[in-house]
Amino acid sequence: MIRKGNFSFNPNPECENGDTFDNFNMTQLFPHTPVCSGKTGLILGNGNQLNCDFPGDTQGTRPLHKSFCSHEHPEWIERGLPECPEDCEHELVDERDVVTVDGVEYILQRYYQDKVVP
């Protein structure tokens, strides 16, 4: 069966052995999330596989994994994304807007970016 649609944040979409996914979004919240565990012979066409680890015999995988920052995606906190501290690992430290007054540096604006992970 060919399955299409948005399966984001659902690591166990309805599927059977040998199914094909095409024109799909399967983005998962955390890097290396096992998806369609226990299924065999899956085929992936055009679609978003961000943070997905499909079973080993799946054809068409294009792995890409990112650590999401809650400063960039605050709406995902309710889905389980941990709330990042102000100085989290996603901060682009060299991009900060700062001002120095009487020898004291003040951060005016911080910038954040999701990070690609192995």
Q: pTM for the full model?
A: 0.87
Q: Is 77 helix (H, G, I), strand (E, B) or coil?
A: helix
What is the C-alpha to C-alpha distance for residues 101 and 64, in angstroms, rounded to an integer? Answer: 43
Query: What ranges do the domains of the chain cover?
Result: 1-64, 74-117
Q: What is the mean pLDDT of each run of 10 residues along the chain (118 residues)?
A: 92 94 96 97 96 96 96 97 97 95 96 97
What is the C-alpha to C-alpha distance for residues 104 and 64, in angstroms, rounded to an integer? Answer: 41
